[in-house]
């Protein structure tokens, strides 16, 4: 655990030194959301209806932006070999990377989502449901993105392959996350959708780091 926390601290310090990646993801998220009212009109009912889907799609795309550097910089300068020799399993190295990605990207997106939901005229009662879905949803996106970034590591045009690999895997997250808000808006319980997101997160927590670790070992060899 001490080595895991040390690795996590290293990743957070590196992310803070390259804070432009986090700011770029947040600005992309905010700009993408604010462009939709310009295209579909400022009608409160229309915005409230499509607002959850807009926020989820924008959050998904914004979470993909920093993934290209998640392992790329370490792979290029040789740090990845040292990380794999630090005494931690490769899956734990991937898990620390995924947690750092969520803390520096997913968590800020979660914070920014609330004022953007207000801007889209979402009823105040639906905002907690939206955030309740985004919490496991952004964690899932970080885990899936980490696994995808490890798989394409060292491949030619990996930056192009990464979205093609991660986006189809993230479709269920998008469906259940937006479905929870839609169910609440019609007076139904969002609990089934949120529980499905939690179940997907419980499955991804062990599986994604294991898959990413195997891909990292293959790339290092």
Give how far Cα 24 sits from Cα of 28, 90, 114, 179, Å. Answer: 6, 29, 18, 28
Count of CA atoms in the C-beta half-sphere (13 A) of 189: 4
Distance CA 84, CA 92 (A): 10
pLDDT at 193 over 90: yes
Instruction: Give the pLDDT confidence of 85-132 residue by residue, as tens digits.
Output: 777 788 888 888 889 889 888 888 888 998 988 888 888 888 899 999
Instruction: Please give the DSSP secondary-structure letter assigned to residue 78.
Output: T
119-143 pLDDT, tens per residue?
A: 888 888 888 999 999 999 999 999 9
pLDDT at 200 > cutoff 80: yes
Hey, what are 2's tokens? 């001490």
Query: Confidence band (pLDDT; 50, 70, 90) for 194?
Result: very high
Residue 88 φ/ψ, nearest 5 degrees: -95, 145
Q: What is the pLDDT of residue 158?
A: 63
Q: What is the DSSP letter of 87?
A: S
185-211 mean pLDDT: 91
Domain range for 28 is 2-220
- Total domains in the chain come to 1
Task: Assess contact for 163 and 64: CB atoms under 8 A.
Answer: yes
Q: List CB contacts of 80: < 8 A, sequence separation 6 or more.
A: 71, 74, 216, 219, 220
> How is 148-215 classified by DSSP, letter by letter?
HHHHTTT-TTHHHHHHHHHHHHHHHHHHHHHHHHHHHHTT---HHHHHHHHHHHHHHHHHHHHHHHHH
Q: Which residue has 């409160």 as its token pair?
A: 44
CA-to-CA separations, 139 to 30, 135, 160, 202, in angstroms, rounded: 19, 7, 22, 10
Look up the pTM and report it.
0.87
- Please check whether residue 197 is in contact with residue 141, taking contact to mean a CB–CB distance below 8 angstroms: no
């Amino acid at each position: 655990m001490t080595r895991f926390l040390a690795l996590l601290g290293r990743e957070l310090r590196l992310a803070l030194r390259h804070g432009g990646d986090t700011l770029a993801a947040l600005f992309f998220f905010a700009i993408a959301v604010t462009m939709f009212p310009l295209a579909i009109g400022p009608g409160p009912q229309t915005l409230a209806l499509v607002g959850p889907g807009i926020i989820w799609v924008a959050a998904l795309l914004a979470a993909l932006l920093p993934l290209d550097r998640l392992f790329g910089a370490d792979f290029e300068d040789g740090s990845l070999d040292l990380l794999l020799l630090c005494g931690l399993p490769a899956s734990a190295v991937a898990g620390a990377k995924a947690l750092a990605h969520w803390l520096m990207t997913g968590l800020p997106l979660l914070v920014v989502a609330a004022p953007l939901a207000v801007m889209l005229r979402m009823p105040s009662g639906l905002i907690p449901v939206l955030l309740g879905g985004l919490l496991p949803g952004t964690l899932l996106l970080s885990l899936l993105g980490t696994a995808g970034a490890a798989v394409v590591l060292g491949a030619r045009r990996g930056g192009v392959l990464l979205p093609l690999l991660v986006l189809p895997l993230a479709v269920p997250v998008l469906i259940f996350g937006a479905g929870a808000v839609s169910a609440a808006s019609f007076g139904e319980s969002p609990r089934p959708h949120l529980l499905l997101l939690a179940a997907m997160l419980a499955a991804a927590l062990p599986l994604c780091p294991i898959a990413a670790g195997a891909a990292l070992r293959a790339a290092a060899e």
